[in-house]
Structure formats: structure tokens, C-alpha cells
Chains A and B, each alone.
Chain A
């Protein structure tokens, strides 16, 4: 199992579009992926958009990400990248182009 603390960077936090992206990415891995507020108040299955939205993670929220499975390393790397890019449509899509 791998574990990392990630910070929500996008201006709008983990809103529907960002969450949709997160779920798409998470679902492409076999590993189990969990996101947890560092204060322990909420926990989410990264493959369920509803559960991710319920984290109510606004900008600056710290989340503990846990990955477990045969592709846990790759899964965590992808998560890190996603959080690092800030989910923000402006920056992220520019870098994709």
C-alpha cells in the first residue's frame, strides 16, 4: 500500500468537472484508491464521483491518498500529477495542448 498527502489546488476546489476527471483517472487503475480528509472527517472511494463530491474539498484542502493493489505505484503517480496540475481547466488544458 502507498500513501501520500495531496493538496487541492484548483481555484474552484474539487467541483464536478474536476471530480469527473479524478474518477476517470482513478477508474483506469485496478488498485483500490481512497481519499481521506487529513482531519479524518470524511473518506471517499476515488472511483465514485458521489463519494468524491461528498469530500467537499475546497481549494487548499489536504487529502490523504491511499492506493492498494498491483498497480498502486502507477495509480498514485497519476493521482499526484492530477492534484499537482490543480484540476484547473485553464492551466491544465494549456499544458495538454
Chain B
């Protein structure tokens, strides 16, 4: 057989590393199904083939459920119970088998017809939330179609070096991902702050996203190289290419090992400025990283990951147990729990909101649905008796949001006291991530105990660019002068009010950006745990005065392009041994 031609594909490397592996395509919906006519004599065999697919699908779901319980928590795993029941539902099986026999259809076609009938009934349901449950039925049908296609045995063989290739990885698909086996991720959609990127960095596996139209070219089992350091993937690499990349991957591993020697505590710049390095965490799988990478506590705990993927609520006691865990992991330095950022993507009310990013979400959702916010506050207060915990309010727009949330917190404290339930003191901070909060930062600083700058949302809202929308990825410029001015302004407001400020967005995870943040006066950064060694290395080799000079120069720039060029040139000139060209922002043109 003639060797396949090597294809290189450019994307955006969002989680560092190099992996030589084999493609595992993840279906994300569309699957073409053809009609075949089955001979009378073969009908029985076709029915048996369908039953075998049901058994295979059930075994897969059992495994996924067990794994999800361990890796993501019981509450994320519940949905697979429903999927299992759906898969083995007597009505579904009977309908499909009847269709096979009566229409002499192949199992795929019968399944598709029956599935479409069910889904069409579902799509007419008036209740928004229930209508969306159609996606559960779709998931199960997809699983059966995959099982029928026989793609699964290949899956097993690949278990050691699977590179997940997909159009997009939705949060619910991530729950299904075989995290043990995934070695790297490559997707058509997505950007630096997409969910895929955050999860990949959390797991410490390489990811290249934004590959546009790559998915359909890759077949499960194909050789592939994912090189996030060069923002590319190579499909059908030759033996020589594979050898070369294996060598590169080994070099990178050794470099990382020397970086990851268990250094912990704060970093110090050359001129002796102390910088606290904290961890951002969401999934239990990331907890180990807090100590492994030497973080000083947890700067941001994204609590909404406690909720089920489809927005199901959990009890106060379950939350209490989770926050106690978080406090224990964080240790003396403590953890900041961000109140549920609900309403943006994973809740009941999603369908009703035309523009969820600007809708009833985060603190707004909490103030409207106070039973949810109160239960969460009680759980945090109670857990604070066991360890050090603080609360940060997401998406604050003004002091009024803070005052109302604080009043509720006080009421809950009083309630606990009255019932003689043990609780601890928590400080209350505001997420500064909306331009309105930036512009009134001096006022907000007077009513909170600390600031927390969420740079991802700050970029999105300042530039009015959806960070998940691939089409406008060129406009998502972290180094836009407007963003930098917002950061500088907020940090100054905190300094003047005498309150601490933690910068917790993805910006803090990138060494070059972290240096700019120090230049703006930040001394407290929170990031993906796996990024800590690299950021520590960079900060320990720069001096804050030079950083300050460069940061101030950036504020004078006219455009993101100009800032990027300035950063590239100045960093290379000042610290050539610390920043390779690859670690600096690339020059980009919009279009």
C-alpha cells in the first residue's frame, strides 16, 4: 500500500506539549446513515447485530459511568443512569426490531427512523427544559450507531496513545471523555479560553484547537502528531517524522521535569518583589496539581462544576462536603470559592435567553434565585469552620450587587448562629470582569475585602468578542490597549483602597503576560496548576522595574498589533534567555 501523504495543519496550541499518537475521532452529532435492503434470510442476523450493539453500548456506558463517578464526581455521573435506561428501553428495542423485520431495513436505518420519530415528538414539547432533554435520546442513538459501525474495537486498540480529534468538545462530551487514555486533543473549533483548552491545561495534555475542517480528514486509527508548541498537527506523518517528534517530545519532557522540581511558595523577581502563585481548579482530578506544582492555596474555585452537566442542583450538605475538601487541599493559604456562575451556558433558563452572556447569570441569577445562593453561602460558611475559605461574587456590575449579596450573607450567618451551627468567617471579594466594574473599581473597592480580576471575561466584554466564536478569534486580543488599561485601572483602585487583588484569568497562566501583569503592579496571580512552574521560572528571571516600564509603554499603544510587536521586541531584547520567540505573542492580522 502506498504511504499516505503527510499533511500539516495549523491551529492554535492552547495546552503545551508534543504527542505522537493515533487519531480517535469523537462523534459530535452528525452521522450519515444509508438505507440497505436486507434479504429475508438475513433478517434474523440483522436483529442479532442490533442486539449486540445494544449490549456493547450498555457495557460502554457502565464503564463511562464508573469513571465519571471517580473523576468528575457522582453528580456528573447521574446522567449516564438515564442513558443506560434509554439504551435498554424495551420500547426502543421493540420498535427498532419491528422496523428491521417489517421494512427489511438494515439496523442503522431502522434506528435512525425510530430515533427521528422519537425526536420529532420531543421537538414539539412546549416546555423548554424538557424539550432539550431530546439531546439525551440523541446521545443514546449516536452511541448505538457508533456501536453498529464497529468503530469500537479500533477504539480499544488505541487506548494507549489516543489523540481525541473532534469538531468541538462540548462540556457534556468532556464528561464522557476517557481522561485516562486521552493523550492529546485536536479540535476544529475553539480558542485559547474555550472549555477544551481549559480542561486540557488542567489535565496537562497537549491541545491544538481552531483547526478548521481538519476533523473530516482524519480517520480513527490514523497516525497523528499534535505539536502544541508549534501550533500544528501532522496527519499521516512518515516514519522519519514520527521519530523526529518522539525525540522532540522527550526533550520537552526532560525540560519539564527540571522545571517541575517541587518548588513551592511565592516567586521572587530579581529585584526581590514577592509574587504569590495560586491555583485555579474546577474538577477533582485537578486537586493533586495544587500541591504537585507548588501553589499557594486556591485562588479560584469554579464552583459551578459541582453541578451536573445539565444544570441539576446539588444539596447544601453535598456542597459542604465539597468545600471542606477544597479547603483541605488549599491548606493554610485558603481557597476562594466563586459563587455559581449560572445562567451562561448550563442552566434551565438558557433557552429563554437570546444573549445568555449578557443575561441573567452569575450574581444576577443568584440574587433572583436566592434559594440557590443562600444554600451555597450556608455551605461555604459551614465549611469555613473547617478551613480557610473566601467568597468571590461573579459578574459584579456595581456596589449595589455587592451590598445585596453581603446582606444575604449576613442573614445566613445570623441564621446559622441562631441554630447553633458551627461556621467560620469568610471574606467577600468581587470579580472585576465587566467594563462597568472596571470603570467604578474605586467605588467597589470600598465595599469588598478583595478584588479578583477575571481576564478572560474582561477581554470578551471589553472587546465585545465571543471567546467561543471561531469566526472572530482574530478580534479576541488579550493585549488590546483597552484591556490593559482596564487591568491597570483596577489594580490601581485596589492598591489605593488598600485591598488585595488576585489576577485569575488565563492571562496569568502565560509567562509573558504574567510579566506584564507584574508590570501593572499585580503581586498575586492564580492560574492552571500545570502553568505554575513556567510562570515561576519567568518571574524569577525578570526585574519588576523593567516590566513596569514595558507595561506602561504598552498603555500608550494604539492597537493590539502594536502592543504585540512591542512586547515581542522588548522581551527579546531584555530577557532573551527567558523568552524564546515561540513563547511570545505571535504577530497576527485581522481578517
Contacts and interface: CB of A to CB of B under 8 A. Distances in A.
Contact of B315 (A45, A54, A93): A93
A79 interface: no
Interface in B132-191: 133, 136-137
Contacts of B348: 11-12
Contact of A20 (B81, B126, B127, B317): B81
A17 interface: yes
Nearest to A45: B91
A14 to B, nearest CB: 7
Given A20-B81, A93-B315, A50 B89 contact: yes
Interface string B222-262: 00000000000000000000000000000000000000000
Contacts of B79: 16-17
B7 interface: no
A89 B85 contact: no
Contacts of B90: 45, 47-48
Interface of B: 78-79, 81-82, 85-86, 89-92, 118, 121-122, 125-127, 129-130, 133, 136-137, 308, 310, 312-318, 348, 375
A64 interface: no
A90 B316 CA distance: 8
7 contacts: A13-B127, A15-B310, A16-B133, A17-B312, A49-B82, A50-B118, A97-B317
B318 A16 contact: no
A53 B138 CA distance: 13
A50 B316 contact: no
Interface string A24-47: 100000000000000000000101
B89 A90 contact: no
A57 B127 CA distance: 9
Q: How large is the interface on A (under 10, 10 to 19, 20 to 34, 35 or more residues)?
A: 20 to 34
A89 B137 contact: no
A17 B126 CA distance: 19
A14 B86 CA distance: 14
Interface of A: 11-17, 19-20, 23-24, 45, 47-51, 53-54, 56-58, 89-90, 93-94, 97
Contacts of A93: 314-315, 318
Contact of A89 (B82, B86, B121, B313): B313
B226 to A, nearest CB: 34
Q: What 3 A-B pairs are tightest by C-beta distance, nearest first?
A: A58-B127, A16-B82, A49-B85
A23 B89 CA distance: 10
Contacts of B375: 90
Contacts of B314: 89-90, 93
A11 B133 CA distance: 15
Contacts of A53: 86, 122, 130, 133, 136-137
A90 B82 contact: no
Contacts of A17: 78-79, 81-82, 308, 312
A50 B130 CA distance: 13
A50 B312 contact: no
Contact of A49 (B78, B86, B121, B129): B86
Nearest to B78: A17
Contacts of A58: 126-127, 129-130
A51 B91 contact: yes
Contacts of B78: 17, 20
A51 B137 CA distance: 12
Contacts of B129: 12-13, 15, 58
A27 to B, nearest CB: 9
A22 to B, nearest CB: 10
B445 to A, nearest CB: 35
Nearest to A57: B130
A89 B127 contact: no
Nearest to A17: B78
B243 to A, nearest CB: 48
Contacts of A97: 315, 317
A34 B3 CA distance: 60
Nearest to A93: B315
Contacts of B125: 56
A5 to B, nearest CB: 20
Q: Which of A14, A15, A24 has the most CB of B within 10 A?
A: A15
A54 B121 contact: yes
B99 to A, nearest CB: 15
Contacts of A23: 85
A94 B316 contact: yes
A97 to B, nearest CB: 6
Contacts of A45: 90-91
A89 B89 contact: no
Contacts of A24: 85
Contacts of A57: 130
B316 to A, nearest CB: 7
B130 A15 contact: yes
A63 to B, nearest CB: 14
B313 A90 contact: yes
Contact of A50 (B81, B86, B308, B310): B86
A66 B297 CA distance: 56
Contacts of B308: 17
B412 to A, nearest CB: 16
Nearest to A19: B82
Given A89-B315, A94-B315, 16 more contacts: A12-B129, A15-B129, A17-B79, A17-B81, A17-B82, A20-B81, A49-B85, A51-B89, A53-B122, A54-B118, A54-B122, A56-B125, A56-B127, A90-B375, A94-B316, A97-B317
A9 to B, nearest CB: 14
A51 B91 CA distance: 7
Interface-central residue, B121, B129, B130, B348, by most chain A CB under 10 Å: B130
A50 B92 contact: yes
Contacts of A20: 78, 81-82, 85
